[in-house]
């Protein structure tokens, strides 16, 4: 159901109907835009603008739209249109009035005003924000901006995967897209309600690389996580990231690294185990983490790094958001898309502020010491910076001199085992 259809439904009006609230000065019902073909009534010239300005903004919008559908004096009509443009700048319009106003200016061909009103509505909580995003996607399609339309639909689906009309619009956009250009926009031709046999249920998180969705594997009857890589950076960049993530997962096969089930390159998708406990970042955001839990998680991360480093890789983006918790409470390292071989040269300055080693620069040789630095920052984020025996280890990890840090994940694991 599109924005226009929804607006007709809430007002109870259809072309040629006579339902809806009556205005003070006439008995002609309101309509949604000047393009609707309805009976017209000649009205005497009256200056209603001043009278409407004294009303609450939402009421003023509705009354003005009612008046504009009449064949009123051009001067009065011009004044009402100016007033509506002024009201479009207000941030205190009620949700229905904002959508009606956007519909009116869209019908006048003033898309920039409609976009401004809908963008304001999209930032408000509740169902109106979803309808506004759908309207913004339609406006983007009308002006030929498929990428912007996809972004608005992404936001909509992230909030409500089954919102009426959203997936159908994605399907139509996908049919115009080249295979492999989909990624996290969910625009792949076979990504209408999922990826192959994986039915998407809801979005779990979103980052610079892509979005992760909870999905159901219809063949095996289990929940999985489907990571859809963004396509905006180009197919080759996405392919490199996916290949790195798949190669590392294939080589490591560690109990402390998230399990990878399937790679679907045409859709830019990786199918992985679903970790029901969320991420360490979410656990930290919920409040103080007990020392016992934090010590267990940090040991799991050290074991994961030991295996990653022994296989000749560097994670390069270790942080609480990339450590997930299984249903049994154990921590596993995820998101290996930035991983590179030890000794390779860094192709870009990537990672996350606060968890990226100071020596990480484009062109520098990649070394395990950068992961060790991130490990120390993670220990601090978990509240272990005051722990009498663990704090010195984390401080060593955070040394600005890479040579002063523990060498790699195996050294970290041994150091933790030695701490009582």
pLDDT, one tens digit per residue, over 286-345 is 888 899 999 999 999 999 999 999 999 999 999 999 999 998 899 999 988 888 999 998
Indicate the DSSP class of residue 403: G
**What is d(CA 410, CA 408) in angstroms, rounded to the nearest whole number?**
6
Nearest to 163 by CA among 190, 202, 105, 197: 202
Least confident residue range of 125-134, 221-230, 360-369: 125-134
pLDDT at residue number 34: 38
pLDDT per position as a tens digit, 263-274: 887 777 889 999
Q: How is residue 42 annotated by DSSP?
A: B
Question: What residues act catalytically?
Answer: 317
Q: Does residue 31 have a pLDDT over 50?
A: no
Q: Quick one: pLDDT at residue 193?
A: 52
**Rounded to whole angstroms, how far apart are CA atoms 353 and 367?**
18
Q: What is the DSSP string of 201-241?
A: EEEEEE-SSEEEEEEEETTTTEEEEEEEEBSTT-HHHHHHH
227 to each of 148, 267, 409, how far by Cα in Å?
Answer: 21, 10, 26
pLDDT exceeds cutoff 70 at 412: yes
Mean pLDDT is highest, among 108-112, 190-194, 197-201, for 197-201
Most confident of 14-23, 145-154, 198-207, 258-267: 258-267
Q: What would the pLDDT profile of 367-377 be if each residue is shown by its tens digit?
A: 999 999 999 99
What is the distance between the alpha carbons of residues 369 and 340, in angstroms, rounded to a whole number? 13
How crowded is residue 419: how many other Cβ atoms within 10 Å of its Cβ? Answer: 13
Q: Can you give the pLDDT at residue 156? A: 78
Q: Is the pLDDT of residue 26 over 70?
A: no
Residue 373 has what pLDDT? 97
Q: For residue 40, give the H/E element and its range.
A: none
| pLDDT cut 90: percent of the chain above it | 30
- Return the residue matching tokens 């969910």: 186
36-50, 76-90, 137-151, 233-247: least confident range = 36-50
Task: Judge whether residue 42 has pLDDT over 60.
Answer: no
Quick check: 129 pLDDT over 60? yes
Average pLDDT of the segment spanning 156-184: 60
Instruction: Return the pLDDT at 415.
Output: 96
Q: What is the pLDDT of residue 171?
A: 67
216-236 average pLDDT score: 78
């Amino acid at each position: 159901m599109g924005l226009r259809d929804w607006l007709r439904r809430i007002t109870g009006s259809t072309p040629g109907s006579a339902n809806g609230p009556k205005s003070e000065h006439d008995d002609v019902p309101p309509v949604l835009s000047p393009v609707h073909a309805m009976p017209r009534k000649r009205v005497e010239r009256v200056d209603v603008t001043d009278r409407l300005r004294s009303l609450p903004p939402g009421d003023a919008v509705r009354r003005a739209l009612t008046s504009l559908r009449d064949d009123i004096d051009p001067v009065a009509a011009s004044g009402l249109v100016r007033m509506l443009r002024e009201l479009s700048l207000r941030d205190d319009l009620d949700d229905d009035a904002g959508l009606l106003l956007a519909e009116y200016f869209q019908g006048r061909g003033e898309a920039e005003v409609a976009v401004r009103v809908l963008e304001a509505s999209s930032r408000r909580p509740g169902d109106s924000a979803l309808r506004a995003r759908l309207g913004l996607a339609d406006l983007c399609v009308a002006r030929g901006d498929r990428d912007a339309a996809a972004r608005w639909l992404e936001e909509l689906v992230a909030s409500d995967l089954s919102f009426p009309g959203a997936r159908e619009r994605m399907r139509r956009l996908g049919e115009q897209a080249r295979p492999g250009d989909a990624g996290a926009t969910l625009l792949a031709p076979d990504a209408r309600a999922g990826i192959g046999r994986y039915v998407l249920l809801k979005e779990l998180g979103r980052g610079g690389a892509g979005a992760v969705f909870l999905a159901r594997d219809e063949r095996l009857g289990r929940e999985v996580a489907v990571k859809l890589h963004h396509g905006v950076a180009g197919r080759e960049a996405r392919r490199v990231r996916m290949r790195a993530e798949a190669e590392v997962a294939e080589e490591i096969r560690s109990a402390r690294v998230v399990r990878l089930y399937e790679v679907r390159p045409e859709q830019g998708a990786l199918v992985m185990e679903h970790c029901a406990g969320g991420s360490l970042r979410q656990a930290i955001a919920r409040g103080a983490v007990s020392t016992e839990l934090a010590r267990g998680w940090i040991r799991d991360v050290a074991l994961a790094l030991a295996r990653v480093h022994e296989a000749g890789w560097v994670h390069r983006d270790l942080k609480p958001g990339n450590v997930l918790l299984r249903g049994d409470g154990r921590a596993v390292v995820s998101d290996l898309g930035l991983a590179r071989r030890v000794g390779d040269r860094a192709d870009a300055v990537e990672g996350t502020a606060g968890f990226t080693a100071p020596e990480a620069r484009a062109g520098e040789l990649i070394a395990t010491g950068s992961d060790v630095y991130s490990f120390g920052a993670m220990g601090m984020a978990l509240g272990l910076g005051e722990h009498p025996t663990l704090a010195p280890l984390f401080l060593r990890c955070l040394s600005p001199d890479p040579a002063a840090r523990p060498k790699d994940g195996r050294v970290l694991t041994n150091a933790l085992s030695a701490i009582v």
